[in-house]
Structure 1
Amino acid sequence: MATAANWLEGARLRTLPAAVAPVILGSGAASGLGAFSAQRALLAAIVALALQVGVNYANDYSDGIRGTDDNRTGPPRLTGGGLTAAKNVKLAAFACFGIAALAGLVLVALSGQWWLLVVGVACVIAAWYYTGGTNPYGYRGLGEVFVFIFFGLVATAGTTFTQALTVPWHVWVAACGIGLIACAILMVNNIRDIPTDSVSGKRTLAVRLGERGARVAFAAMLLGAILLALLTALHTPWALIAVVLAPAVWVIVRPVLAGERGRPLIAVLRNTGFFELAYAVLLAIAYAI
């Protein structure tokens, strides 16, 4: 029987900065526009966190029933490791999606922008079919596209829009930076799993690019985020404070470019999450000043 610790591990806490960061940045941008709402920011955070945990449980369930996680590196998965029945993990995933939907409905009602319900439905559908269904797009190398759109553009710009009812160009630029870092989190996770994913038929972008190409892509994503912060500085020079993170890029990518495999990449995954959080906080401060 799965313990509470097993369920927490299944939630993959290391990935949660990818959910919180865009809300922080989007709320900072709303503050700069004179429209910050703590209530709406909290609701956006609940939506993002519930979706992220839901995706993680859905991934655990779908990969587990396919046998993709049978020989993975890292802690055993709930489904693949036989810690609990697959149906329980599936139920947990949909419970999280339900929480996200409920919080999202309240957020839409407060903003008065009912067309955002379509965006919310798209988020849930995309979250499930990442590894769920008969033809999951995560198995065809499109996972990073989903992450960039929904945990970059939609999460950041959506947070700003539900508070300010507008999204200036510079917020879209900053959202692209967040999206690239979120993609980097997924990329390093998939670099670690290249050996097992190749055998199981999971053709992630990392598998398609090959080990060397995937490692270079990971570095390019983080560097691209720094460059986008520089572009954001055209709106507010305070955005240049994000450049202090440039040395951290080298610290994070060095073991990846050096060819580290297996467990050492788990630390890189964690550090990339912290990098995204720091990036969001610094740009949010830049907007709010």
Structure 2
Amino acid sequence: MATRAQWIEGARPRTLPAAVAPVVAGTGVAADLDAVMPWRALLALVVALALQVAVNYANDYSDGIRGTDDERVGPLRLTGSGVAAPASVKRAAFIAFGVAAVAGLALVLVSRSWWLLPVGAAAVLAAWFYTGGSHPYGYLGLGEAFVFVFFGLIAVLGTTWTQAGALSWTALAVAVAVGCLACALLVANNLRDIPTDRVAGKRTLAVRLGDRGARALYLTLVTVPYLLVVALAWHQPWVLVTLASAVLLLPAVRAVVGGGVGRQLIPALRDTGRAELAFGVLIALALAFG
């Protein structure tokens, strides 16, 4: 039976910045539109965090029962390592989905953003079928596209809309920037796992692009957000403070450019997540108070 510490590790805390950053950034855009509503922001945060934990447990369960995680370099996988029964991991995923659904429904009701109901349902389905079902899209190299949409565009724009009831070009630019960093987080993870994923038949985008292509994609994804920050400076010069978050990316970039493999790339996941969170916080503060 898995310990509490193992369940926490199985939830993959290093990926949680991908859930926090878009909500914080989207709230900053709402502040730029003079429409911050803290309770709605908190509900959006619960939805995002619950979905991230749910997809992590769902991925653990689905990859585990397929045998994809039998030879794993990265963090502990509950199912693949055998420390937790597959049914228990699946149950944990569904509990997290339930929390996300309840918080999401509450957010829809208070904001009267009824169009978010089908969007929320699509997010849950996307989270499950990333590695679940008979034809998981994560095994086809489509994971990054869905992460960009749900943890970038929808998370940022949905957070802004439920508070401000409006969007802006700034909102779109911030959503694209955060989406790119969320994708970079996934690419860093999949770059590390290329050898084992290839053997297991998991054709992630990193596997399809190959080692060199995946490294180039990572560098592109971490560069685009900062180009967008420079472009946004015409609207709010203070957003340039967001460039400071790039410092946190330097170790990860060095590892990727330097040809790091296996365990050498594990810190890159952490550093990319920290940089995404710092990016979201700094751009939110700049938009809110600049």
* Shorter-chain TM-score tier: over 0.9
Q: CA–CA distance in 2 between the matches of 1:14 and 1:250?
A: 17
Matches within 5 A, 1:118-267: 118-267=118-267
Contact 1:223 1:249 (C-alpha < 8 Å) held by counterparts: no
Residues 205-262 of structure 1: CA distance to partner in whole angstroms, max 9, x if unpaired? 0000000110111111101111111122232111111122344444321111111111
What is the match of residue 19 of structure 2?
19
Q: TM-score, normalised by structure 2?
A: 0.98
Count of residues paired in the alignment = 289
Label 1:77 to 1:246 Cα distance change in 2 as closer, same or farther (>3 A): closer
**Residue identity in the other structure for 1:135:** H
Alignment partner of 2:79: what SS? coil
Residues 141-200 of structure 1: CA distance to partner in whole angstroms, max 9, x if unpaired? 000001000000000110000000111011111110000000000001001100000000
Alignment partner of 2:78: what SS? coil
Q: CA–CA distance in 2 between the matches of 1:137 and 1:43?
A: 28
What is the match of residue 43 of structure 1?
43
With 252-261 and 47-56 compared, the bigger mean Cα shift is at 252-261
With 235-244 and 122-131 compared, the bigger mean Cα shift is at 235-244
Q: CA–CA distance in 2 between the matches of 1:104 and 1:246?
A: 32
Contact 1:30 1:160 (C-alpha < 8 Å) held by counterparts: yes
Structure 2 unaligned residues grouped into runs of 5+:
none
What is the match of residue 32 of structure 2?
32
What is the match of residue 278 of structure 1?
278
Q: TM-score, normalised by structure 1?
A: 0.98
**Residue identity in the other structure for 2:36:** F
Residues 2-45 of structure 1: CA distance to partner in whole angstroms, max 9, x if unpaired? 11011001100000000000000001111121110110010000
Structure 1 unaligned residues grouped into runs of 5+:
none
With 250-259 and 108-117 compared, the bigger mean Cα shift is at 250-259
Alignment partner of 2:80: what SS? coil
CA-atom RMSD in angstroms:
1.0
Matches within 5 A, 1:64-79: 64-79=64-79
What is the match of residue 97 of structure 1?
97
Q: CA–CA distance in 1 between the matches of 2:221 and 2:88?
A: 35
Q: CA–CA distance in 1 between the matches of 2:248 and 2:23?
A: 22
Q: CA–CA distance in 2 between the matches of 1:214 and 1:115?
A: 35
What is the match of residue 81 of structure 1?
81
Contact 2:2 2:84 (C-alpha < 8 Å) held by counterparts: yes
What is the match of residue 288 of structure 1?
288
Matched, 1:109 2:109: yes
With 234-243 and 62-71 compared, the bigger mean Cα shift is at 234-243
Residues 53-96 of structure 1: CA distance to partner in whole angstroms, max 9, x if unpaired? 00000000000000000001033311001111101111111110
With 113-122 and 183-192 compared, the bigger mean Cα shift is at 113-122
Q: CA–CA distance in 1 between the matches of 2:252 and 2:189?
A: 13
Q: CA–CA distance in 1 between the matches of 2:84 and 2:149?
A: 32
Contact 2:249 2:271 (C-alpha < 8 Å) held by counterparts: no
Alignment partner of 1:79: what SS? helix
**Residue identity in the other structure for 2:197:** D
Q: CA–CA distance in 1 between the matches of 2:192 and 2:181?
A: 17
